[in-house]
Amino acid sequence: MTAGDDTADGRGDDADAVDSEASTGDAAGVDGRTDIDTHQSSEFDDGRVDVEDDADAVPLGESQTLDPAVRFYWIVRSVIRAATLAVVALLFATVLNQTILPLPVRTVTVTVFALFATLGVARSVLRYGSWAYAIREESLFLRRGVFTQVQTVVPYVRVQHIDTRRGAVERLFGLSSLVVYTAGSRGADVTIPGLSPARASSLQTRLKHLAIESEEEDAV
């Protein structure tokens, strides 16, 4: 026995423990699934997921939408963006007005603001409609995109770690995002925005368990 093998053995034991736990959990998960099909009960808690609120548990394989509040968050964000652009337009138009081109400064500013705000609001609403995610048996599935529709499949085997994030404005709206990291080089992080904090942390725990369940030596 070498020192290196000792640690390897230790790891193996851990993995075994997790496996047995996971397999019991699996059985519970199957039960939970059938239950959820008949009545949307809170029995989905399969014993592994320490959810703070049972209503926040995500049923397996069902398409989920984001928290409707995220629309308002996106709308506020796009209005702020439109306002910023309007200010830039105002400065630009003023400069132009005084030098080469006599522009109606106020009209330009209002038009820029109205245009971008409308576009932003429309996009926010459409984006909300386009977003869906699902916790499937072996992978996380995301669908999103208004103009370019994107679907992503993240096998749990490949999950490196999972973060929840709450930006300042997001917190005002009582929202949270979940970021899933893989070793992949492109789009190394997969983000689900617009989750209630409780659901975000429940998802985080659940995905963590699913990732451990399907764990490999090395996810690269």
Partner 1 sequence: MSPGGGDAAPPGSGDPGRGADDTLSPDEDGGRPPAERRADTRTGPRRLHPLTVAYQLGSTGVRIGVVALFVGAPGLMAALESGRVEYVASVLLLVLVAVAAVVGYSGLSYRRFEYELTGDTFDIREGVLSRREREIPLRRIQNVDVSQRLPERVLGIAEVRLETAGGGSTEAALRFVGVEEADRLQADISRLRRGAVAGESEAADARAEADAGEHRERLFEISPKELAVLGVVSIDPRVLSILAIGASLFFDSVPKFVEPSVIGGPEQLITRLFGPVASLAVLVLLALGAGVLNATRFYGFRLERDADELRYERGLFQRFSGTIPLSKVQSLTVRENVLARALGYASLTIETAGYAPGSNGGDGSQSAVPLAERERALALARSIEDAGVESLARPPKRARIRYAIRYSLVVAILAGGLALAGRVGLPVPPWYVALLFAPLALLGAHLKWLNLGYALGEDHVVTQDGFWIRKTHVVPYHRVQTVVTRGTVFQRRRDLGTVVVDTAGSSGLFGGDARAIDVDAGTAASLRESIPTSLTAALATRRAEGRGSR
**For binding to partner 1 (CB under 8 A), which residues are involved?**
1-5, 138-139, 145, 147-155, 157-158, 182-187, 190, 216-218, 220
The C-alpha atoms of residue 199 and residue 55 are separated, in whole angstroms, by 8
| Shortest spacing between CB 176 and partner 1, in angstroms | 22
Choose between 114 and 183: whose C-beta lies nearer to partner 1.
Answer: 183
Nearer Cβ to partner 1 (37/137): 137
CB of 138 to partner 1, least distance (A): 6
Q: Rounded distance, CA 7 to CA 116, Å?
A: 58
Is the separation of the CB atoms in 43 and 35 below 8 Å? Answer: yes
CA dihedral 160, 67, 128, 200 (to 10 degrees): -10
Cα(139)–Cα(133) distance, integer angstroms? 11
127 or 158, CB closer to partner 1? Answer: 158
Q: Compare residues 72 and 141 and give the one whose CB is closer to partner 1.
A: 141
CB of 107 to partner 1, least distance (A): 27
Q: Between helices 3-38 and 197-213, what is the axis angle to 10°?
A: 130
Q: Least distance to partner 1 from the beta carbon of 178, Å?
A: 15
